[in-house]
Amino acid sequence: MDRIKLSRQLSAIENGESSAEYGEGPIVAITGPPGIGKSCLIDKILYELTPELVVGVLAVDPTSPVSGGALLGDRIRFNVLDDANKAESIYIRSIATRSSGGSIPSIVNDLASHLLANDFDLVIIETVGAGQSEMRCAAVADRIIVVEGPARGDSIQAEKAGLLELADLIVVNKSDLEGSEKVFNELTISLSLSPDPPRIMRTSAIDGTGISDVAKLILTLEQRASSIRAKSRQKLLMAHENKIVSNPNFESILDRISQEGLSIPEALRELND
Ligand SMILES: Nc1nc2c(ncn2[C@@H]2O[C@H](COP(=O)(O)OP(=O)(O)OP(=O)(O)O)[C@@H](O)[C@H]2O)c(=O)[nH]1
Ligand SMILES: [Mg+2]
């Protein structure tokens, strides 16, 4: 692959200077709380899938607007890139969430589409499962894997974040650590009440437990009815927000709200016309 050309194209799309080519194919999101092992899992999964498949990874960086964000430096190194044979069929790109606020999910959507239009077999989106923008990034994918792990707090983190409804598969990572089995059991019990519970698997990105099973499932994972609905909800909300924000009168209507007392329902009506 011509990485320089691809990087240029993706930057232009990210900056709104050109539009993405339209491609279809599998997009899988890997989401979950910070530090749960998403990147390490992706690294191990890439060992299994490449070089047979050409895989693009879009890592949405949870940059905080307060610190100005550069968590990039903290990212794990993808060890799989040390294997030249595999690295040749992998393209990894970070997308900083601060660059343009609410439209990150649209950018992720466009970049994924562009990769699929350019001979990629699979796009993996890594996103932290916290906050609305990140949920919408995950909803860009047609399959969502929610990663959990031994609890650092009192309750299951993904459950708190409302992530479980989006999950087509739940992976309890760090199975080499104490507490992972407890989380697995708790999740199994709590999801048994669901009409179509997602499969739950245990992995360790350190000792390799369960990795090949997850890698095998990635391309054949079935969507759950409830996750289709949850994703559709996020997509619909995103489309609506995009529609409003891209209205050429958006800024002037904001002015009229703040300076002339235009009411919100009236503003919405104008923006939706
Ligand atoms: N014991 C153990 N540690 C793990 C496992 N997977 C990841 N880790 C460690 O957990 C830490 C975070 O791993 P990452 O892969 O960077 O986690 P992440 O979810 O991508 O983190 P963010 O991108 O910052 O949200 C690292 O120190 C890893 O070595 C695992 O299966 N077992
Ligand atoms: Mg990560």
Centre of ligand 1 from the C-alpha of residue 124, in Å: 17
Q: Tell me whether residue 168 is in a domain.
A: yes
Q: Tell me whether residue 60 is in a domain.
A: yes
Find the helix or strand (DSSP H, E) in which 143 lies. strand 143-148
> Rounded CA gap, 71 and 187, in Å?
30
pLDDT at 102: 44
Residues with Cβ < 8 Å from 172, sequence gap 6 or more? Answer: 147, 148, 149, 180, 183, 184, 187, 200, 201, 202, 203
Q: Tell me whether residue 45 is in a domain.
A: yes
The token duo for 184 is 């697995």
How many structural domains is the chain composed of? 1
Centre of ligand 2 from the C-alpha of residue 93, in Å: 12
Q: Tell me whether residue 265 is in a domain.
A: no
Structure letter (DSSP) for residue 224: P
User: What tens-digit pLDDT sequence spans the chain (273 residues)?
Assistant: 899 999 999 999 988 889 999 999 999 999 988 889 999 999 999 999 999 999 999 998 765 544 444 444 456 679 999 999 999 999 999 887 654 444 788 889 999 999 999 999 999 999 987 777 788 888 899 999 999 998 765 566 656 657 788 899 999 999 999 989 999 999 899 888 888 899 999 999 999 999 999 999 998 999 999 899 999 998 899 888 888 988 999 999 999 999 999 999 999 999 988
Centre of ligand 2 from the C-alpha of residue 109, in Å: 19
Q: Tell me whether residue 175 is in a domain.
A: yes
Q: Tell me whether residue 231 is in a domain.
A: no
Centre of ligand 2 from the C-alpha of residue 90, in Å: 16
**Which protein residue's CA is at the shortest distance from atom 32 of ligand 1?**
174
| CA atoms 161, 165, 169, 172: torsion sign | positive
Q: Could you please report the per-residue DSSP string of 4-72?
A: HHHHHHHHHHHTTSSPPPP----EEEEEESTTSSHHHHHHHHHHHHTTTS-EEEEEEE---TTTT--GG
> Rounded CA gap, 139 and 73, in Å?
26
Centre of ligand 2 from the C-alpha of residue 1, in Å: 24
Written in H, E and C, the secondary structure of 80-124 is HHHCHHHHCCEEEEEEECCCCHHHHHHHHHHHHHHHHHCCCCEEE
Q: For the chain, how big is the Rg over CA atoms in Å?
A: 20
Centre of ligand 2 from the C-alpha of residue 271, in Å: 37
Pairing of strands 90-96, 143-148: unpaired
Tokens 């503003």 locate to 267
Q: What is the CATH number of the domain that holds 8?
A: 3.40.50.300
First vs last C-alpha separation in the chain: 44
The pTM for the full model equals 0.90
Closest ligand 1 atom, residue 33 Cα: 25
Q: Tell me whether residue 44 is in a domain.
A: yes
**Which protein residue's CA is at the shortest distance from atom 2 of ligand 1?**
174
**Which protein residue's CA is at the shortest distance from atom 7 of ligand 1?**
37
Residue length, the chain? 273
Q: Of the residues 30, 31, 39, 78, which should be mutated to test ligand 1's pocket, given the most ligand atoms within 8 Å of the CB?
A: 39
Q: Of the residues 36, 39, 40, 60, which should be mutated to test ligand 1's pocket, given the most ligand atoms within 8 Å of the CB?
A: 40
Site residues for ligand 1, CB cut-off 6 Å: 34-40, 76, 128, 173-174, 176-177, 204-206
Closest ligand 1 atom, residue 175 Cα: 31
pLDDT at 75: 61
Closest ligand 1 atom, residue 34 Cα: 25
- Alpha-carbon separation of residue 247 from 243, 255, 263 (angstroms): 6, 14, 17
Q: Tell me whether residue 245 is in a domain.
A: no
Q: Of the residues 72, 75, 76, which should be mutated to test ligand 1's pocket, given the most ligand atoms within 8 Å of the CB?
A: 76
Tokens 């530090």 locate to 35
Residues with Cβ < 8 Å from 168, sequence gap 6 or more? Answer: 143, 144, 145, 198, 221, 222, 223, 224, 227
Q: Could you list the residue range(s) of the whole structural domain that residue 151 is in?
A: 3-225
Centre of ligand 1 from the C-alpha of residue 35, in Å: 5
Is residue 78 within 8 A of residue 146, CB to CB? The reply is no
